[in-house]
Amino acid sequence: MSESGNSSGGGGDGAKFSSGTVRADFNDPLAVMHYTRAAHFLGLWESERVMIRRFFTDLDAPLIEAGCGAGRVTLGLRDLGFRNITAFDFAEEMVEQARSLVAERVAAEARDAKKDARAKIRVLLADATRLAQTDGVRMEGGYGGALFMFNGLMQIPGRENRLAALRELRAVCRAGAPLLFTTHDREQCSAAERVLWRMEAERWAAGRQDAQLVEFGDRYFEDETGRTFMHLPVRAEILADLAVTGWAHKYDALRSEIARESRAVRDFSDECRFWAAVAA
Ligand SMILES: C[S@@+](CC[C@H](N)C(=O)[O-])C[C@H]1O[C@@H](n2cnc3c(N)ncnc32)[C@H](O)[C@@H]1O
C-alpha cells in the first residue's frame, strides 16, 4: 500500500469518508489478501523490531495491538517473546484471517514445543474509537503497552475520531505503558509531493477539494492492493494530539533513520514516521 497512489473520488455519493468506508475497504478481498500475504511471508519490519525492543522491555506485560489486520505484527510480537497479546481490528475479514493464522502458528509451535506454552494471543473484533466499552477488551490492572502499526491510526477519518482512539487506548492502559504507532509525514516528502500538497491547499482554499475528504491532509487512493483512506499529518499535529489524550511523547523518527529495510518491506510500505509515547 503506497500513499502516493492515484487519488480517487471514492464512493461518489458525495458523503464524507467515514469509518464505514474504511471498514468496507479493509473487508475487500483484495486488501484481505494483501495483508494476509504480509502476515504469512513478510513479518515485522526491521524498524518495528528495533522500536519494539527499545520501548517494550517487559515480555510479561499484557499488550494491546490496534488495527492488527491479518496478524503480521501480532505474530511478530509473539516471535519477539511477548506472552500476553490482545489484538483487535474492526474489519471482520481481517479478524478471521488473523485468528486462523494465530491458531495455525500456535498449533505448529505447540507440536514442535518451540514456544512458551503460557503464551496467550486473543484476536477481537473491536473499533479503536469505542474500545473501552467493548466487551472483553479491558484488562485487569490495565495493558502494559499499546501498538497501532502501519499507519492504522491515520486511517481513521476525522481528527476527533483519531483523538478518541488515542484516548480509548490510554483508558485501557496503565500509567507508564508505552505506545508505538506510525504515520506519514506531510512535511517530509519529495519536492514533487510538496508541489501536489501546495496545489491541494489551493483547492481547499477555493473550496474545490474532493467533497468526500474530511480534512486537509486526507487522501483516498486506489492501487493494486485496494482502496485506502489515509490522513497525512504534520509532526506538530501528532505532538498536540498525544498531549491532549494522556500520552507523553518520548521519541519520533523517520523509518529510514531507524533501520535499513529490505526490498520486500520497501515494496510493501512507504517511508513513515515512528512515534513512541508513554501513558502519563
Ligand atoms: C494498514 S492496515 C495494518 C494491518 C496490520 N497492522 C499490518 O501492519 O499488517 C490498518 C488496519 O487498521 C484497521 N483499522 C482502521 N481503523 C480502525 C478502527 N477504528 N478500529 C480498529 N481497527 C481499525 C483496518 O481494518 C486495518 O486492518
What DSSP string describes the chain?
Answer: --TTSEE--TTSSSPPP-HHHHHHHHHSHHHHHHHHHIIIII---HHHHHHHHHH---TTS-EEEES-TTTHHHHHHHHTT--EEEEEES-HHHHHHHHHHHHHHHHHHHHHT-S-TT-EEEEEE--GGG-TTSTTT--TT-BSEEEE-TTGGGGSSSHHHHHHHHHHHHHTB-TT-EEEEEE--TTSS-HHHHHHHHHHHHHHHTT-S-TT--STTEEEEEETTEEEEEE---HHHHHHHHHTTTEEEEEEEEHHHH-PPPHHHHHH----EEEEEEE-
The cell for 268 is 510493501
Which atom belonging to ligand 1 lies closest to the Cα atom of 35?
Answer: 9
pLDDT of residue 10: 43
Say how many Å lie between the CA of residue 150 and the centre of ligand 1.
8
32 CB under 6 A from ligand 1?
no
156 Cβ below 6 A of ligand 1:
yes
Q: Residue 126: what pLDDT?
A: 98
Q: Tell me what pLDDT residue 132 has.
A: 83
Give, using CA atoms, the residue closest to atom 16 of ligand 1: 156
If one residue of 40, 155, 163, 228 were mutated to test the ligand 1 pocket, choosing by the most ligand atoms within 8 A of its CB, it would be 155
Q: How far is the CA of 179 from the centre of ligand 1 (A)?
A: 16
CA atoms 48, 52, 53, 55: torsion sign: positive
User: How far does residue 89's CA lie from ligand 1's centre (Å)?
Assistant: 6
Q: In the prediction, which pLDDT does 109 show? A: 80
User: Within 13 A of 22's CA, how many CA atoms are on the CB side?
Assistant: 25
- Is residue 149 lining ligand 1, measured as CB closer than 6 Å? yes
- pLDDT score for 13: 60
Give the pLDDT confidence score for residue 6 in this predicted structure.
38
- Please count the other Cβ atoms lying within 10 Å of the Cβ belonging to residue 78: 22
Radius of gyration in angstroms for the set of CA atoms belonging to the chain, rounded to a whole number: 18
CA of residue 74 to ligand 1 center, whole Å: 12
Residue 75 near ligand 1, beta carbon < 6 Å: no
pLDDT on residue 88: 98
pLDDT tens for the chain, residues 1 to 280: 544 443 444 444 679 999 999 999 999 999 999 999 999 999 999 999 999 999 999 999 999 999 999 999 999 999 999 999 999 999 999 999 999 999 998 888 878 776 666 679 999 999 999 998 898 999 999 999 999 999 999 999 999 999 999 999 999 999 999 999 999 999 999 999 999 999 999 999 999 999 999 999 999 999 999 999 999 999 999 999 999 999 999 999 999 999 999 999 999 999 999 999 999 9
Closest ligand 1 atom, residue 126 Cα: 21
SS3 state at 230: strand
Instruction: Note whether 260 and 50 are within 8 A (CB).
Output: no
Residue from 1, 3, 17, 22 whose mutation best tests the ligand 1 pocket (most atoms within 8 A of CB): 22
Distance CA 206, CA 218 (A): 16
